Amino acid sequence: MVKRMIFFALVILFAGCSLFKNNISEGWKSFESGDYQTAKNDFYNAISSGGELEAYVGYGWSCAKLGDESKALSSFEYVLASDSMGFPDAVSGAVFAGNAMKIDSVAARRGEYLLNMLPDYVFEHDSTITWKQIAFTSACSFVNCNDFSSALDMIRLIEPNFNASFMTESGIDSILTELDEISRWI
């Protein structure tokens, strides 16, 4: 009798694991096709089933694409509090969500961290999101924090030959002008 109960418990456990893995997989498929609401629902179902951290990453990106940066940032920060090294897509999501919410210190430092960890970063589920967008967004956030030295470092990742003094008014103007120029093509 006990062996039977253990067997059924294992069957239910494995079925549940398969279910939230399937929700995660379906969520990413929906996300990649641009159906962010369906993706959000799939990831939410995976989370509700005791899902993995990857479900929170997908949920965060889906929320971000739907314009709910607050839920997105909360989801990303939940993942990063649990495992910052294993989920670079949560770090990149936190950069964009933090910037959109004007929490520039979060966006700037998360971007700097990601680019130190993965200098050639590309978001696996949307290849238009690359290290260049991370560097640009981080530079803008550093400017908003009045950290022109770090903004200059981020700009130089994109434009290695750019030079300006972050300690003079004309240098700061050059940094702001360069960011404006980059924003036109990035």
122 backbone dihedrals φ, ψ, rounded to 5°: -140, 130
**What pLDDT is attached to residue 83?**
87
- pLDDT of 136 higher than 80: yes
Tell me the pLDDT tens digit for each residue of 144-164: 999 999 999 999 999 999 999
Quote the tokens at residue 146: 């009045």
Place 1 in a pLDDT band, splitting at 50, 70 and 90. Answer: low
Closest alpha carbon to 91 in 123, 48, 43: 123
Please give the average per-residue pLDDT across 65-85, as a whole number.
94
pLDDT given for residue 21 in this prediction: 56
Query: Which pTM value belongs to this model?
Result: 0.86
Helix, coil or strand: residue 37 = helix
**What are the residues whose beta carbons fall under 8 Å from the beta carbon of 131, sequence distance 6 or more?**
115, 118, 119, 120, 121, 122, 157
Distance in angstroms (rounded) separating the CA atoms of residues 132 and 90: 17
Separation of alpha carbons 53 and 79, rounded Å: 6
Question: CA angle, corner 95, sides to 22 and 170, nearest 5?
Answer: 160
Q: Which residue range(s) make up the domain with 48?
A: 2-183
Looking at 19-28, 62-71, 107-116, 162-171, which range is the least confident one?
A: 19-28
Handedness of CA 23, 29, 32, 33 (dihedral sign): negative
Is the pLDDT higher at 92 or at 17?
92
CB count in 10 Å sphere of residue 63? 25
Count how many domains the chain has.
Answer: 1
Look at residue 67 in the predicted model and tell me its pLDDT: 97
Give the domain CATH number at 158.
1.25.40.10
Average pLDDT of the chain?
Answer: 90
Higher per-residue confidence, 21 vs 101:
101
| 130 SS3 class | strand
- Position 10 scores a pLDDT of 36
Q: Is residue 133 predicted with pLDDT exceeding 50?
A: yes
pLDDT of 6 over the 70 cut: no
